[in-house]
Amino acid sequence: MLKVGLTGGLASGKTFVGEVLASSGCPLIQADELGHEALAPGGEAYDAVVREFGREILTDEGLIDRQQLGTLVFGSPGRLARLNALVHPGVVRREEELIAEFAAREPRGIVVVEAAILIETGSYKRFDRIILVWCAEEQQVERAMRRDGAEEGDVRARISRQMPLEEKRKFADFVIDTSGQKEDTLRQARAVYEALRRIET
């Protein structure tokens, strides 16, 4: 089983590239979804996060308001690191369980884990290859504003707190430039898939 990490900055096109690889036959694990599961009531991180950040992050239904939680942590590197420390271990454990399940079914397959902070957390070391999805910062801002309905200042602040994409390039085995048309991104993603198949076989 070839383990591939897929990463990139905010609104850089990770999800689209992940979908292309999934449609090519790669099992796709999305760390963000596993994080949502960990923060759901009964999830592995739910109680610890509520204890750490207070009941004011809860909705009337007892769900963690992720937008409220984000407001609390994204302006504070220390609190963000604390949140990651509470959520990340459970997410990694679940990733490894899923990878093991896929490997048992298809030992010579390719599994892809999509995660925004793969490099920042050091998780990239767990993978055989790293794919970085890249576009210009102005495109990240435009896409995030359109997708999330966010204010430009908030988007730029979030980007400024992420590792610069140019820095992430040093860790990447493949770089997919999503700044052009979707057809171009599709072509690049398929080319990367073919390259990964050659590694595995």
| Token pair of 35 as six digits | 């994080």
Strand 28-30 to 2-8 pairing: unpaired
Q: What is the mean pLDDT of residues 88-97?
A: 94
Is the distance from CB of 107 to CB of 24 less than 8 angstroms? no
Contact indicator for 18, 6 with CB cutoff of 8 Å:
yes
Sign for the CA dihedral angle at 157, 160, 162, 164 comes to positive
Which long-range contacts link 174-178 to residues 24+ away (Cβ below 8 Å)? Answer: 174/129, 174/130, 174/131, 174/132, 175/131, 175/132, 175/134, 176/13, 176/17, 176/131, 176/132, 176/133, 176/134, 177/134, 177/135, 178/12, 178/13, 178/16, 178/17, 178/133, 178/134, 178/135, 178/139
* Contact call for residues 180 and 12 (beta carbons, < 8 A): no
CA 7 to chain centre: 6
Contact in structure between 86 and 48 (CB atoms under 8 Å): yes
Residue 27 backbone zone (phi > 0: left; psi -120 to 50: alpha; other: beta): beta
Q: Say which range, 52-66, 90-104, 153-167, has the weakest mean pLDDT.
A: 153-167
Residue ranges and CATH numbers for the domains of the chain are 1-27+108-201 (3.40.50.300), 32-105 (3.40.50.300)
**Across 109-138, average pLDDT:** 94
Report the pLDDT averaged over residues 125-141.
94
The most confident of 32-46, 66-80, 137-151, by mean pLDDT: 32-46
Contact 51, 135 (CB under 8 A): no
Q: How far separated are the first and last CA of the chain, in Å rounded?
A: 10
**Residue 157, pLDDT score:** 82
What pLDDT, on the 0 to 100 scale, is given for residue 200? 55
Query: Could you tell me the pLDDT band of residue 86, with boundaries at 50, 70 and 90?
Result: very high
Per residue in 154-182, pLDDT (tens digit) is 888 888 878 888 899 999 999 999 999 99
0.85 cut: is pTM over it?
A: yes
How confident is residue 14, by pLDDT bands cut at 50, 70 and 90?
very high
pLDDT at res. 147: 86
State the pLDDT at residue 70: 85
Provide, rounded to the nearest whole percent, the portion of the chain with pLDDT above 70.
Answer: 99
For 17-58, write each residue's pLDDT tens digit: 999 999 999 999 999 999 999 999 999 999 999 999 999 999
Token pair 């198949």: residue: 197
- Average model confidence (pLDDT) for the chain? 92
The model's pLDDT over 191-201, given as tens digits with 9 standing for 90+, comes to 999 999 999 54
